[in-house]
Amino acid sequence: MAVKYVLKLYVTGVTFRSQAAFKSLKKIMSENYKGAYSLKVIDVMKHPKLAEDDKILATPTLIKILPLPVARIIGNLSDKEKVLLSLDLVAVR
């Protein structure tokens, strides 16, 4: 049974880097995860208070809230191997 992934992606505005992170993430999840997952995208320019609450320092930052433990991944997520490792996903060959 697949555990539900709950993810938050913090970005700064609608930039090339933000878009790239979003696209990379969607690709990785769809290729390597069969279950459903929830993904929220938050723009720090529009919600600085949320950034303060979640203690975000860099963008893009991806926070994996579930499954535990909570993990944070910084960078535009283009390095697939590293992202899989940090999300605790197994690569689908």
Partner 1 sequence: MQSRTKKGALEKVFTGIRGLDEVLGGGVPKGRSTLIAGGTGTGKTVILNEFLYQGITQFKENGVYVTFEEDKRDIIKNVEGFGWNYASLIAQKKLAFVDAAALKDVTFESNQNYDLHPLIERVKYAQKKIKAKRLVIDSLDNFFSRFQNKDAIRQALRQITAELKDLGVTVLMTAEKSGPEQDLTRYGVEEFVTDGVIEVALVKGQQQFLRRMFVIKLRGTDFRSGIVEFEITNQGLVVYPKIPVQNISAKTDFQVRKGFGIKGLDDILAGGIPQGHMVLVSGNTGTGKTMFGMHFLRQGISEGENAVFVTLEEPIDQVKKTALTHGWDFNRLEKEGKVSFVTTNLIDVSNDKLLYQIISAVEGINAKRVVIDSVSSLLSATMSEEQARQFLIQLSGYFKAKGITCIMNYLSLANFGAERGQLLGSLSTSEMRLSSVTDAIIMLLFVERGQKIKKLLNVLKLRGSQHSKEIFSFEIEKDGIKMGEKYEE
Give contact residues for partner 1 (rule: CB under 8 A): 10, 12, 17, 44-45, 48-49, 51-52, 55-61, 63, 69-79, 82-83, 85-86
Q: Which is nearer to partner 1, 12 or 32 (CB)?
A: 12
Q: What is the smallest separation between the CB atom of 4 and partner 1, expressed in angstroms? A: 19
Residue 40 to residue 63: CA distance in whole angstroms: 10
Q: Which is nearer to partner 1, 29 or 83 (CB)?
A: 83
The answer to whether 24 and 78 are in contact (CB under 8 A) is yes
In which region does residue 75 sit, left (phi positive, over 0), alpha (psi from -120 to 50) or beta (all else)? Answer: left
